[in-house]
Amino acid sequence: MTQEPINPYQPVASVTDVNEHELSEIQFQLTRRILRSGESKYLTHSSSNRRLIDSLVIIALSTMIFIVALSYGKYTFITSMIMTLAGATFVFSALLHRSKIEARQNLSRYGMVDGAVCTVSMSAGEVTFTTPAGKFDWPASSLKIYRTPKGHLLLPRERVFLIIPKANDSTRAEYKQLIKAIKSHRGRITNHSTGPVSSKMQASG
């Protein structure tokens, strides 16, 4: 019996054809630098529509103040411009600070803090983060994913961010395979809940 020749043009199996149970578990240690890098990206992408509306409202109010101040003379206009710009900067900074504090509180609740040793894996369409606080699952289809200089950032619907650092205990190939697997599930409709489920919560239930 002769063996059929291998077709060199046959497409290579994609990551979606790989059994998710064969994906390696990625282990890493969080550092302050990694968390701050993720936080910066999180503040940029989280609630972007709401921030756009806030910015437009601030700009509209500032413009109205400038127009009214013009009728009171040059000195009043310059003074009002400086005060309005300072006020707008303060308001916008306050909005960012509120989101930052909320994200840090949620990270602490999930055990993702400076020095924490965490693992991330994927199975049955769910991304699992194991931290000192327990095990938490998110449906991959509900996560937004962004690339950062320090790794990849996952944004669930909750006000928190999940980061998978490039500097981890696994190989580069295993890291890339996990990221591709998560990306392949984005936008899929599943019957899973959209929020995290803690193994400790499951045990207590």
| pLDDT tens digit sequence for 94-153 | 667 777 888 899 999 999 999 999 999 998 899 999 999 999 999 999 999 999 888 999
177, 31 in Cβ contact below 8 A?
A: no
Structure tokens of 14?
């994609």
State how far the Cα of 104 lies from the Cα of 99, in Å rounded to an integer: 9
Residues whose CB falls within 8 Å of the CB of residue 95, separated by 6 or more in sequence, listed in order: 51, 54
- The string of pLDDT tens digits covering residues 33-63 is 999 989 888 888 775 555 555 566 666 666 7
* Of 162, 185, 184, 166, the residue nearest 175 (C-alpha): 166
